[in-house]
Amino acid sequence: MLLDRDTAHAFMPYPAVPVPHAPSGPLSGLTFAAKDLFDVAGYPTSAGSPHMLATSGIKTRTAPTVQRLLDAGARLIGKTITDELAFSMSGKNAHFGTPVNGGAPDRIPGGSSSGSAAAVSNGLCDFALGTDTGGSVRAPANHCGLFGIRPTHGRISLELCHDLAPSLDTCGYFTRDDATFVRVGEVLLGKDHQPLPSSPRVLLARDAFALLHKDVREALAPALLRAEAALGEPEEVDVAVEGFTALYWAMRYIQSREAWIVDGPMIERYSPPLGPGVADRFEFSKAVTDAQVAEAKVIRAAFRERFGALLGNDAVLILPTMPDIAPLLSESDEALNDYRNNALNLLCLSVLSGLPQVSIPLASRAGAPLGLSLMGPAGSDMSLVTLASRIAASAST
């Protein structure tokens, strides 16, 4: 990536290194970027942290998921900025800056895959890799007006990618259009072992929509009608019978404990300067107790079993991606943290269940993008991508 062309401040300022790719293949002619958690031979990996960058060294191996894209003919143009240690959802990195939201430049891009979403939404590449632990693909997709997927946990390899919370981490990607969304999915996801039927049962997460402000529900109403026209009339269901608060805390405790296991030893040994919010989250992580984690895992197991049974192997669930459009860049750190916590009530469903979720850029409010999501059974990822394309195509006709 030529830095003087990075008008979106999406890329890490690394010297350009040629990365070989196949001369032909299913992704030939497409360019992509990789979040700077993935190792790429010839580049360092910062994980959004100056300390990690200083100790990284130049990598000699490329993450298998990146290599799969290269082998399919796609051309890598650079590595994108991530929120620090991937432990944020705002897209603001205190050390490397804030990438520009191509869908609403006065608003945050969303993190932690902020640079990848900025690169795609500003037209700097055709698609980009991100990771989603607590919402780090779905939130930027919503905010920047992109297609995005959090796949079934374990569906796409995260080998040679810096962890945040391994039992929750997933690899996803962004595109601007539905055709590319399908094309990349065919390479990264492959065929579903458990595809959805051609006419799946359609469910609507009544209690998830009830969390939204009236203005947001009204903004999503036309998108819902388009989804229903493409999929059929949904049955309304409550998805969080345990209560969103219980699920929120279960996710936070598990994520925090695992994040401390991954990065805590480095933080305690070197005391690197951590940006606002990130420092607070690691302090919280350090204090999480064994009892809190044990209870959280019980809640996760029960929810996973019940939610999996609700979807069975033939249902698709419609739900809002985020509680609203992206907050303004001028919002305080406190306001951004409040928004993040509200968002986790919605985002935790896919995280705790391990089930796939796609966000589709179907709506807008106050001139900013707003996404609608589909979830499906474990292993139905490519079916969801195809359904997202069907809905998007029907919306544009």
**Per-residue pLDDT for the chain (397 aa), expressed as one digit of tens each?**
555 689 999 999 999 999 999 999 999 999 999 999 999 999 999 999 999 999 999 999 999 999 999 999 999 999 999 999 999 999 999 999 999 999 999 999 999 999 999 999 999 999 999 999 999 999 999 999 999 999 999 999 999 999 999 999 999 999 999 999 999 999 999 999 889 999 999 999 999 999 999 999 999 999 999 999 999 999 999 999 999 999 999 999 999 999 999 999 999 999 999 998 999 999 999 999 999 999 999 999 999 999 999 999 999 999 999 999 999 999 998 999 899 999 999 999 999 999 999 999 999 999 999 999 999 999 999 999 999 999 999 855 5
pLDDT of residue 50: 98
pLDDT of residue 194: 87
- The catalytically annotated residue of 136, 350, 359, 373 is 136
Give the SS3 label for residue 116. Answer: helix
Q: Is 136 a catalytic residue?
A: yes
pLDDT of residue 196: 97
> What angle separates helix 178-188 from helix 381-395, to the nearest 10 degrees?
170
pLDDT of residue 395: 57
- The catalytically annotated residue of 112, 116, 256, 373 is 112
Instruction: Reply yes or no: is the peptide bond before residue 330 cis, omega within 30 of 0.
Output: no
Buried-exposed string 298-337: b where 16+ CB fall within 10 A, e elsewhere:
ebbeebeeebeebbeeebbbbbbbbbbbbbebebeeeebb
Residues forming a β-bridge with 202 = 316
Q: How far is CA 329 from CA 89, 98, 100, 106, 332, in A?
A: 13, 9, 10, 6, 8
pLDDT of residue 4: 63
pLDDT of residue 117: 98
pLDDT of residue 2: 52
Q: How does DSSP classify residue 4?
A: G
Compute the distance between CA of residue 321 and CA of residue 306 in angstroms, rounded to an integer. 21
pLDDT of residue 27: 98
